Amino acid sequence: MTGRAPRIVALSGGVGGAKLIDGLARVLPPEALTVVVNTGDDLVHWGLHVSPDLDTVTYTLAGMAHPEQGWGLAGETFGALAMVERLGGPSWFRLGDQDLGTHLVRTAGLAAGRTLTEVTGEIARSLGVKVKILPMCDGARPTRVDTPLGTLGFQEWLVEHRGAPRVSRVSWTGDATAGPGVVDALAACDAVVIGPSNPYVSIDPILALDGVRDAIARKSVVVVSPIVGGRALKGPLAEMIASLAGRAPSAAAIADHYAGVLRGIVIERGDGRPDGVTTLETATIMRTPEDRACLAQVVLDFVSSRPWGRASAVG
């Protein structure tokens, strides 16, 4: 990996993953970075195809993301939502006015016969994003969660029910074929970086696609732990680790979850070091653009400097 920038494929869900990708985009030339994004969160809402994680990554790289929320757009307004509410339509999933433009363009593109991969590329280019953003697949591959309320769609569980019902199983329906370019990018890259995303509902959907695990079997795969100080950086991950793995949330639980895939883990300073996997302790919370770039550079240095052995088989 000397003499040229390493070719990195980053696997990502929404907010946490997007921040690290933004950092990677700040320190790598655009042609060195490909992002494979979870589409298990996608839904059809108000008749429109909404791809929350693709949009979060795209808006973040375009510098347009809502600064506090992470998802949606900065300076968003909700006039259409107010009208939908007035007309008695569903308002539990809040689509903003500008964001609606993206869903209209995506839905029209798909209706005209273009693929999600093509439409995603067009949207990213129109917003000035140079990094290649690939949906994990072109077909519908919705994530479902089993809960005491029954099996729920992902957004139904996370947003409508506020992620409260205990999750006993995560599954996917639909076609497991990876999107065009996904397996090739993984096969050709120097390293795979998994951002601080939820392993169960953001990264596992990607790893579960045909050919993905094989493509990364001999790669340097490094994850940034989404558990810091025993707590999830965002969302209901801590509760999911308890209900799905039967243990307390920790960086070790994350390392064990990715056993067989992972070569290295980046954890917050002072968090317990997982057994059986090369570990780097650093500051992992990304509050500013500088934090994002700094963590990304630390991750790249880690990836390119370690004498990587076989993928960890801890757990």
The contact set with ligand FO1 (CB under 6 A) reads 13-14, 41, 50, 52-53, 55-56, 71-72, 93-95, 99, 155, 158-159
- Find the helix packing angle between 15-27 and 52-61, rounded to 10°: 30
Closest CB to ligand FO1 among residues 7, 45 = 45
Identify which of residues 134 and 311 has a Cβ nearer to ligand FO1 in the complex: 134
302 residue type, one letter: F
Continuous H helices in 169-288: 182-188, 204-207, 212-216, 237-240, 251-257
How far is it, in rounded angstroms, from Cα 298 to Cα 294?
6
> At its nearest, how many Å lie between ligand FO1 and the CB of residue 161?
11
Give the count of beta carbons closer than 10 Å to the beta carbon of residue 66. 18
Give the shortest CB-227-to-ligand FO1 separation in angstroms: 16
Cα four-point dihedral sign 51, 57, 62, 64: positive
Using the minimum distance from each CB to ligand FO1, give the nearer residue, 171 or 305: 171
> Measured from the CB atom, is 52 or 165 closer to ligand FO1?
52
Nearer residue to ligand FO1 within complex by CB, 35 or 298: 35
Which residue's C-beta sits nearest to ligand FO1? 14
Whole-number minimum distance, CB 160 to ligand FO1, in Å? 9
Cβ proximity to ligand FO1, 72 vs 249, nearer residue = 72
Least distance in angstroms from the C-beta of 162 to ligand FO1: 8
**Cα distance between residue 262 and residue 45, in whole Å:** 36
Tokens found for residue 296: 């990304």
**Alpha helices, DSSP H only, in the chain?**
15-27, 52-61, 79-86, 97-111, 116-126, 154-155, 182-188, 204-207, 212-216, 237-240, 251-257, 289-305
CB of 159 to ligand FO1, least distance (A): 4
Give the pair of three-digit tokens for residue 140: 């519908």
* Least distance between ligand FO1 and beta carbon 233 (Å): 12
C-alpha dist (Å) from residue 23 to 55, 149, 212, 301? 17, 39, 24, 13
User: Which residue number, 30 or 79, has a Cβ lying nearer to ligand FO1?
Assistant: 79
CB 220, min distance to ligand FO1, A: 25
Burial label for 47, CB within 10 Å (0-12, 13-18, 19+), is exposed
Q: Partners of 133 in the beta sheet?
A: 35
Distance CA 83, CA 97 (A): 11
What is the nearest approach in angstroms of ligand FO1 to the Cβ of residue 71?
Answer: 4
User: Looking at beta carbons only, is 41 or 256 nearer to ligand FO1?
Assistant: 41
Name which of 255, 257, 247, 240 is nearest 170 in CA terms. Answer: 240
